[in-house]
Amino acid sequence: MRIKSKRLSGLILCAIAVSLSGCEPSGTAGEAKTVKGEDLVKKVSETPTELVFYVCVNGWTEEQFMSTYGNQIKKKFPNYTLKFIPQKDAQTLPSVITSGQTIDILITSIGLTSNFLLAYEMQDDISGLIKKYNYDLSRLEPSTVDIQRQLAGGGIYGLPVSTTSAALFYNKALFDKFGVPYPRDGMTWDEIYALAKTMTRTDNGQQIKGMTMSVQHLMQLNQLSAPHIDSKTSKAAFTADSFRQAFGNLTRFYSIPGNGLLNNQYNLVSQQEPFYKDQNVAMFAALSTTARVFKDSLDWDIVQLPVYKEKPNVGPQSYPTYFYLSKGSKNKDAAFQVMSYVTSDEFQDFIVRDGYSSILSNQASIMNHFASNDPVLAHKHVKSLLPEKFADPTEKTKYQAIADKEMLAALVDIASGKDENTALREAEERANKAIEATKK
């Protein structure tokens, strides 16, 4: 009905125009606008330009950047020169900014957007460029746009290039050795907790842990959609019922005798390496992209992240990686062309074949080729890397990094014997003080 109504309105307007001065063929103005836009894109794309990229991942090499993004971008835009600045640690970016080096595109996950883009006030609203080049946001999976709208107060800072979520990885050899059935898709957190207790044991003097995890990521993607920060008050929400439930669901695993934090270390390396290097951990819950790290280092496979029994069909949240336009860029139009390109069907098909998940709203056909270029992942249960249904995204604020820090401090306190309610209350108080300090 809506389409018919628009057509009828167009005919009426055309008839009126004919009676006055004659009516040109319908669509001429729209076609002219499209041609003008295409000419503008062509001009920007053919102008020799240097674009500087910064990826917020420690140790990422230029070779990794080029194989993941750069080679395809260069093929599409042969007149662009790409410069990559590697990140050694969290202090690299402020040093680059202080040196006066311009960055055109900053690439980071939604989880680290607060730590880098917002912390150093590099964000720039690209709404004007979206309008200028008639970019169609409806092509993107809706939650990837919603997240940006929340961050930018209705605007938008970046375009997504890929997404991931969380999954559960398991060491098949350990389960086989002890005669315990493998975990399955659709298991609840309570069932996985019981399985972790079963697998935690001592074997010939070696401590076998039932499960380790990336707590920071799992909390950011929690299935209850519990926020770290109340966006209305800009205060930590650690003592809210939903947050306490999500946090307690994870911390209980570290209370299993023999499965506690080793030396109070909670960082990703300390949780991940025992699984695929030492191979003394039965299960590891983390971002789905972690699968790319394991390769064939051990006999492993994947199942979906366990679910809450009260939400049996809800998986973790989406965790997109974005191409952000830096506020200091002097080549914003060229940078936007690159940002647009990485969301194209052409580039999405390429990146999906390398084992990254598409951010397109209509991705079914592209995802059929998932990980087809990866000889290891091609033989794994890769469908479990993404949930059937994402949980609603929690609003991320510029105080996310503060919240993460104090939440993880609470984890250490609990592992050291402090009761959970006290640890969360104290962490909330510390976070609120730190937030207030940033406002002065």
Residue 10 has pLDDT above 80, yes or no: no
Residue 227: which residues within 8 A CB-CB, separation 6 or more? 237, 243, 394, 395
Residue 55: which residues within 8 A CB-CB, separation 6 or more? 65, 84, 86, 87, 107, 108
Name the strand (E) or helix (H) holding 406.
Answer: helix 400-415
Closest by alpha carbon to 394, among 229, 255, 244? 229
What would be the CATH architecture of the domain defined by 44-163+319-382? 3-Layer(aba) Sandwich (3.40)
**436, two tokens:** 């207030």
286 or 36: whose pLDDT is higher? 286
Instruction: Note the pLDDT of residue 33.
Output: 52
Determine the longest span between alpha carbons in the chain, in angstroms.
95
Residue 374 has pLDDT above 70, yes or no: yes
Instruction: Note the pLDDT of residue 24.
Output: 37
Mean of the per-residue pLDDT values for the chain?
A: 89
Are residues 184 and 303 in contact, defined by beta-carbon separation less than 8 angstroms?
yes
Residue 15 has pLDDT above 70, yes or no: no
pTM above 0.85, yes or no: no
How is the chain split into domains, by residue range? 44-163+319-382, 166-316+399-439
Are residues 314 and 307 in contact, defined by beta-carbon separation less than 8 angstroms?
yes
**Among the listed ranges 38-42, 178-182, 329-333, which one has the minimum average pLDDT value?**
38-42
Residue 8 has pLDDT above 50, yes or no: no
Instruction: Note the pLDDT of residue 397.
Output: 86
- pLDDT tens digits along 206-251: 999 999 999 999 999 999 999 999 989 999 999 999 999 999 999 9
CA distance 250 to 408: 12
Task: Give yes or no on whether 44-163+319-382 and 166-316+399-439 have one common fold.
Answer: yes
Give mean pLDDT, residues 325-333: 97
DSSP string, 120-176: TT-----HHHHHHTT--GGGB-HHHHHHHHHHTTTS--EEEEEB--EEEEEEHHHHH
What would be the CATH architecture of the domain defined by 166-316+399-439? 3-Layer(aba) Sandwich (3.40)
Are residues 142 and 126 in contact, defined by beta-carbon separation less than 8 angstroms?
no
CA distance 58 to 330: 26
- pLDDT tens digits along 23-67: 334 444 444 455 566 788 889 999 999 999 999 999 899 999 999
96 or 355: whose pLDDT is higher? 96
Confidence of residue 129 (pLDDT cuts 50, 70, 90): very high
Could you give the angle at which helices 420-439 and 400-415 cross, rounded to 10 degrees? 150
Instruction: Note the pLDDT of residue 40.
Output: 84
292 or 71: whose pLDDT is higher? 71
Residue 9 has pLDDT above 70, yes or no: no
Confidence of residue 320 (pLDDT cuts 50, 70, 90): very high
Give mean pLDDT, residues 171-191: 98
Are residues 107 and 324 in contact, defined by beta-carbon separation less than 8 angstroms?
yes
Are residues 217 and 166 in contact, defined by beta-carbon separation less than 8 angstroms?
yes
Residues of 30-42 as b/e, b for ≥16 C-beta within 10 angstroms? eeeeeeeeeeebe
**Among the listed ranges 12-16, 102-106, 122-126, 359-363, which one has the minimum average pLDDT value?**
12-16
